[in-house]
């Protein structure tokens, strides 16, 4: 059964340091979908977009892409942060890239590997829930399997990075592990 249509139930082994997932996800009505399309796309309700294919959290009324509610939500909520991680938490378009780059430079003295793309050095934790079309800037089709791991499965990519890690998120604090600030450093821009 689709996670969106029911309460999220964790299976089996929850360690004592993990709280149960506090949200359930419900479909967004066609009226809300159309209103979001008008607001973000000038009325084009057929445009494939993160803003259009959304679900809503209960409680909270947070809107997220349907793909987030179909699995990434628990992976993010259960993500194991390390003591030397720096988490850059921002609202979109509020200095995220600048803050990520500063955090990465401060945690990696000497600035080695600055030639690598910032999205590889400081991955975007929930980017795996974005439709592949978001990454197709030239208007062409892009298939999920053609994306690099840091875009296709950023959680797995981030888990394998060497410490110290700089991690970006636009998620509300409620969706992140409750022990985040007890475990690592965070900056909220």
Residue 13's pLDDT band, with cuts at 50, 70 and 90, is very low
- Among the listed residues 40, 41, 108, 170, the single catalytic one is 170
pLDDT at 133 over 60: no
Q: 176 and 105 in one domain?
A: yes
170 noted as active-site residue: yes
Q: Which residue has the higher pLDDT, 52 or 88?
A: 88
Residues 94-113, mean pLDDT to the nearest whole number: 85
pLDDT at 12 over 60: no
Tokens 């359930």, residue located: 24
Q: What is the count of structural domains for the chain?
A: 2
**CATH number, domain with residue 158:** 3.40.50.300
Residue 42 lies in domain: 3-76
Q: 64 and 92 in one domain?
A: no
How far apart are the C-alpha atoms of 125 and 109, rounded to whole Å? 23
Structure tokens at 135: 């990454």
Q: 177 and 125 in one domain?
A: yes
Q: 48 and 139 in one domain?
A: no
Q: 90 and 43 in one domain?
A: no
Structure tokens at 69: 């509610």
Q: 184 and 109 in one domain?
A: yes
The domain boundary, picked from 22, 54, 76, lies at: 76
Q: 153 and 86 in one domain?
A: yes
Contact 100, 166 (CB under 8 A): yes
Contact 152, 58 (CB under 8 A): no
pLDDT at 169 over 90: yes
Q: Which residue has the higher pLDDT, 140 or 126?
A: 126
Residue 46's pLDDT band, with cuts at 50, 70 and 90, is low
The domain boundary, picked from 76, 98, 129, lies at: 76
The predicted structure's pLDDT at residue 148: 65
Which residues, other chains included, contact 22 with Cβ-Cβ below 8 Å and sequence gap of 6+? 59, 174
Q: 122 and 183 in one domain?
A: yes
Structure tokens at 123: 């991955």
HSE-up of 134 (CA within 13 Å, CB side)?
13
Closest CA relative to residue 31, chosen from 45, 41, 17: 45
The domain boundary, picked from 53, 76, 99, lies at: 76
CB pairs under 8 A, 24+ apart, for 1-9?
2/70, 3/69, 3/70, 3/71, 3/73, 4/55, 4/66, 4/69, 4/70, 8/73, 8/74
pLDDT at 120 over 70: yes
Q: 63 and 99 in one domain?
A: no
Tokens 């689709």, residue located: 2
């Amino acid at each position: 059964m689709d996670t969106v249509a029911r309460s999220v139930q964790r299976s089996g082994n929850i360690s004592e340091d993990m709280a149960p997932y506090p949200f359930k996800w419900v479909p967004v009505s066609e009226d809300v979908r159309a209103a979001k399309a008008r607001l973000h796309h000038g009325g084009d309700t057929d445009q494939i977009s993160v803003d259009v294919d959304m679900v809503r959290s209960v409680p909270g009324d947070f809107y997220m892409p349907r793909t987030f509610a179909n699995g990434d939500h628990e992976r993010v909520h259960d993500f194991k942060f390390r003591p030397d991680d720096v988490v850059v938490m921002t609202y979109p378009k509020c200095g995220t890239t600048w803050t990520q780059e500063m955090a990465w430079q401060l945690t990696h003295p000497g600035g080695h590997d600055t030639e690598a793309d910032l999205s590889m050095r400081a991955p975007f934790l929930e980017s795996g829930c974005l439709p592949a079309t978001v990454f197709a800037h030239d208007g062409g089709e892009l298939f999920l399997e053609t994306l690099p791991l840091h875009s296709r499965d950023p959680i797995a990519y981030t888990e394998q990075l060497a410490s110290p890690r700089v991690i970006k998120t636009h998620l509300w604090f409620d969706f992140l592990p409750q022990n985040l600030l007890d475990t690592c450093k965070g900056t909220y821009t």
